[in-house]
Amino acid sequence: MVEVYVHDNDDAIDFRERHDSGVPVNLAYLNTLNVFYSKITEETAVHELALRRNYKNHDTVDISLESFDNDSNKLESKLKEFYEEHLHEDEEIRYILDGSGFFDIRDPNSDKWIRIKVATYDMLIIPAGIYHRFTLDTNNQIKALRLFKDEPKWDAIVKSTKADNSIVRKQYLISMNY
Ligand code: KMT
Ligand code: NI
C-alpha cells in the first residue's frame, strides 16, 4: 500500500530520509485536494488514461547518479530544483517505472507537507496550481514517465507572491472550494 503521511519538517535530517511525523493521511483526503493516486501495473493503461484526459505529450525522466555521468554535483543541483516548492500551469501525471522517491504536496488547508512515497507502478495525478516538490529517497534512483496535457511545460513556477497570485493558483484554490 502506498504510504502517505504528514512530513515531520525536520530539516536537520537529510531530505532523502523518510521524514514521517507519524500522522497518516488517507487517499480520500488527497482526492479532496484533486490529487489522485493509483497503482497501475500496465504502462499502456496509463497512456489510455492520459488520452481520456486529453494529454498529448510525455517523456521519461531518469534520475540517478549514473544518469548524471556519476557527477554528484550535477545530480544534487537537479534534485535541488525538484525539491524547491513549485507549481505547474497544467495538470500532470507521474508514473513510476523503476526506483522510488517522495512527492511532497503542500496541503492548502493546513500548510503542512503531505509526503507520498512512490515506487514502481505508482501513478499520481497532480493538479495544475498545487504547490509540491520531489526528491529521491536513500535508494537514490528513479525512472518515471511524465505526461503533459499540451506542449511540454516543464517549467516549474517557484513559490513566490507572483505564483500565489497567478491565475492557475487561484483556479486551483477555487476548484477545491477553498
Ligand atoms: C515534478 O513535477 O516535480 C517532477 O516532475 C519531479 C520529477 S518526476 C519523478
Ligand atoms: Ni513539479
Centre of ligand 2 to C-alpha 110, Å, is 20
What is the phi/psi pair of residue 148, to 5°?
A: -125, 150
User: Is 143 close to ligand 1, i.e. is its CB under 6 Å away?
Assistant: no
Distance between CA 172 and CA 128 in Å, rounded?
Answer: 7
pLDDT exceeds cutoff 70 at 121: yes
pLDDT exceeds cutoff 60 at 178: no
3-175 has which CATH code? 2.60.120.10
Give the number of whichever ligand sits closest to the CA of residue 64.
1
Residues in CB range of 36: below 8 A, 6 or more apart: 30, 124, 125
Region 81-101: mean pLDDT is 96
Region 49-74: mean pLDDT is 95
Query: What ipTM was estimated for this complex?
Result: 0.94
pLDDT tens-digit series, residues 5-36: 999 999 999 999 999 999 999 999 999 999 99
pLDDT of residue 155: 76
